[in-house]
Structure 1
Amino acid sequence: MTITQLKYVLAVAEHKNFTKAAEKTFVTQPTLSMQIQKLEEELDILIFDRSKKPIELTTVGHKIVTQARNIVNEADRMQDVVDQEKGFIGGEFKLGIIPTVMPTLLPMFLKNFTNKYPKVHLKIEELTTDEIIAKITDGHLDAAIAATPLHHEKIKERVLYFEPFVGYIPPSHRLSQKKKIERADLDIEDILLLEDGHCFRDGVINLCKSSKLNGGDRFQLESGSFETLIKLSNEGLGMTLLPYLSAMDVTGSQKDNLRYFTEPPPAREVSMIYSKSELKMQIIDAMYDLIVSVVRGAVAFQDVKIIPPTK
């Protein structure tokens, strides 16, 4: 049994196809098939049911894949142990970021980070929170940036900052004359939301539930981006809520439609998250410190607080 054979098994389990798995592991399909067959012969079991289309794991195959993933992850971390001991900040680092954070936060720190740590090879994916949790627990991500708390037993959270909600209220809206808004002003009936699957949407719904949530029928309109929500608000279809860093991108006359909350404003917690068994801590620490620094710098002259956590 070899680590290479286990990697081939994991590739087939993921792609459910021998040809695709061979492409992803940069070997020929006959080589991959032969190595998996040798492993099955050694263990005297069948890992895959080849009669199914797409290929499926057998009952024992599911258990083999779980163990193989643990073994491969630990083997891959051998170099992490050495790098950490030497204080080396480099190598591949896979980072996930949720969609409502990616467009604003990534441009703020990416160039600074790559300039400061040129030996780190970043692989960045935009993923939902559920996808991030699955990929961290499966060993396919080293870390992620997401809204927290998640309360997941295998994931550690380190708060980067607390980001206030900001109202975007067009002139035709019932709250347009207010200089500042309060939680009690919010009504889920006239708030445009992000589509299902966005954690920011869940935060807004929870915020509205804490004030007043009407149960009647309503005109429900949801979108996948804040830009679209702003445009829909401008058409008189309702107000929306933005995270503060997204509100900073609002320009021109649209700035007049921003309404801040009375103190203390409702806010979301944004954290760097990673597996509790993660060993690339020298990279995580470096990225964490840099992000906290640039966020603090970005709002230094603003009249709204984004609060970095205390050390």
Structure 2
Amino acid sequence: MTITQLKYVLAVAEHQNFTKAAEKTFVTQPTLSMQIQKLEDELEIQIFDRTKKPIELTSVGEKIVEQARNIVNESERMQDVVDQEKGFIGGAFKLGIIPTIMPTLLPMFLKSFANRYPKVNLKIEELNTDEIIVKINEGYLDAAIAATPLGQDKIKERPLYYEPFVGYIPENHRLALKDKLEVGDLDIDDILLLEDGHCFRDGIINLCKATKNVTSEKFQLESGSFETLVKLANEGLGMTLLPYLHTLDVDSAFKKNLKYFKEPSPAREVSLIYSKSELKMQIINALHDSISGVIRGAIAFQDVKIISPTKK
């Protein structure tokens, strides 16, 4: 049994396809298949049910994969020990970012991080929160940036910043003349929302439920982007709420439509999250320092109330 064989098993378990797993591990498909077959022969069990399309794990295969993940993680920890001893910050690093954070935060830190740590091969993937949790727990992501708290036993959360919610209220809306918004002003039936699957949407629903008895979650209009929500609001179809960093990109002609909340402002906590196994901590620390450094100049809000990003 070798670490390489276990990595091949993990690749097939992830992609559910031998050919794709071979491509991702940079070997030929016959080589990968042969090594997995050798491992199955040694253990005298079948890890994969090859009659299924896509390929599935057998019941014992699920247990083998869980153990293989632990062994591979521990083997990589040895390299981490060596890297930290040498002060080396480099190597492959897989980072997930949720869609409502990616477009605003990534341009703020990526270039400076890449310049400062040129030996880090950063692979960034846009994923929703549920996908991130699964991929961190299964070892397919080294870390992620997401709205917290998530309440996951196996995941550590390290806050980066607190981002207030800001109202986008078009002219002729019932709240257009207000200087400052209050949570009690919000009506869930009047708010344009992101489509299901976005934690920012869940945060808004939780915010409205805190003050109103919401019996229905059927909304007139939903969209996959804040830009579309702003355009719909400008057409008189309602109001919306934006994360603060997104308001920096609102067209100057529509800045007057932005309305801030009375303090403490509802806000989301944005954190760097990673497995409690704490692999590649030198890169995680470098990411945290880089992001914290650039964000301080963009968000100076302190008096905020954190709204849960998870469904209630």
Report the TM-score when normalising by structure 1: 0.93
Q: Which residue number in structure 1 is paired with residue 188 of structure 2?
A: 188
Q: Which residue number in structure 1 is paired with residue 86 of structure 2?
A: 86
* Cα deviation, residue 216, structure 1: 6.1
Q: Which residue number in structure 1 is paired with residue 146 of structure 2?
A: 146
Amino acid across the alignment from 1:174: R
Change in Cα spacing, 1:26 to 1:119, as seen in structure 2 (3 Å) is closer
Q: Deviations over 1:47-105 (max 9, x none)?
A: 12222233222221111111111112222232111111222121111111111111111
Q: Which residue number in structure 1 is paired with residue 274 of structure 2?
A: 274
Amino acid across the alignment from 1:14: E
For 1:192, what is the secondary structure of its paired residue?
A: strand
Q: Which residue number in structure 2 is paired with residue 263 of structure 1?
A: 263
Q: Is the 8 A contact 1:187 1:214 kept in 2?
A: no
1:283 and 1:12 map into 2 onto residues whose CA distance is 27
Q: Which residue number in structure 2 is paired with residue 198 of structure 1?
A: 198
1:255 and 1:148 map into 2 onto residues whose CA distance is 28
Q: Does 1:49 align with 2:10?
A: no
2:26 and 2:283 map into 1 onto residues whose CA distance is 28
* Cα deviation, residue 262, structure 1: 1.0
* Cα deviation, residue 264, structure 1: 1.4
Q: Which residue number in structure 2 is paired with residue 131 of structure 1?
A: 131
Percent sequence identity over aligned pairs:
77
2:44 and 2:218 map into 1 onto residues whose CA distance is 60
Q: Is the 8 A contact 1:161 1:306 kept in 2?
A: no
Q: Which residue number in structure 2 is paired with residue 35 of structure 1?
A: 35
For 1:298, what is the secondary structure of its paired residue?
A: coil
Change in Cα spacing, 1:187 to 1:111, as seen in structure 2 (3 Å) is same
Q: Deviations over 1:152-184 (max 9, x none)?
A: 111111111111110000002100011111111
Amino acid across the alignment from 1:126: E
1:190 and 1:264 map into 2 onto residues whose CA distance is 23
2:73 and 2:303 map into 1 onto residues whose CA distance is 36
Amino acid across the alignment from 2:47: I
Q: Deviations over 1:3-59 (max 9, x none)?
A: 111122222222222222222222222222222221111111111222223322222
Q: Which residue number in structure 2 is paired with residue 120 of structure 1?
A: 120
Which deviates the most, 24-33 or 86-95?
Answer: 24-33
Amino acid across the alignment from 1:197: G
2:112 and 2:216 map into 1 onto residues whose CA distance is 49
1:213 and 1:193 map into 2 onto residues whose CA distance is 18
Gaps in structure 1 of 5+ consecutive residues: none
Q: Does 1:63 align with 2:57?
A: no
Q: Which residue number in structure 1 is paired with residue 233 of structure 2?
A: 233
Q: Is the 8 A contact 1:296 1:306 kept in 2?
A: no
Gaps in structure 2 of 5+ consecutive residues: 305-312
Q: Does 1:2 align with 2:15?
A: no
1:122 and 1:135 map into 2 onto residues whose CA distance is 16
Q: Which residue number in structure 2 is paired with residue 211 of structure 1?
A: 211
2:136 and 2:256 map into 1 onto residues whose CA distance is 41
2:210 and 2:163 map into 1 onto residues whose CA distance is 18
Q: Which residue number in structure 2 is paired with residue 74 of structure 1?
A: 74
Q: Is the 8 A contact 2:144 2:273 kept in 1?
A: yes
Q: Is the 8 A contact 1:81 1:279 kept in 2?
A: no
Amino acid across the alignment from 1:268: R
1:30 and 1:214 map into 2 onto residues whose CA distance is 57
2:130 and 2:190 map into 1 onto residues whose CA distance is 28
Which deviates the most, 40-49 or 94-103?
Answer: 40-49
For 1:181, what is the secondary structure of its paired residue?
A: coil
Amino acid across the alignment from 1:109: F
Which deviates the most, 22-31 or 133-142?
Answer: 22-31
* Cα deviation, residue 218, structure 1: 6.2
2:37 and 2:82 map into 1 onto residues whose CA distance is 34
Q: Is the 8 A contact 1:95 1:141 kept in 2?
A: yes
Report the TM-score when normalising by structure 2: 0.92
* Cα deviation, residue 299, structure 1: 4.0
Change in Cα spacing, 1:217 to 1:32, as seen in structure 2 (3 Å) is closer
1:283 and 1:18 map into 2 onto residues whose CA distance is 31
Change in Cα spacing, 1:50 to 1:242, as seen in structure 2 (3 Å) is same
1:306 and 1:73 map into 2 onto residues whose CA distance is 40
Which deviates the most, 285-294 or 202-211?
Answer: 285-294
Q: Which residue number in structure 1 is paired with residue 156 of structure 2?
A: 156
* Cα deviation, residue 245, structure 1: 0.6
Amino acid across the alignment from 1:89: I
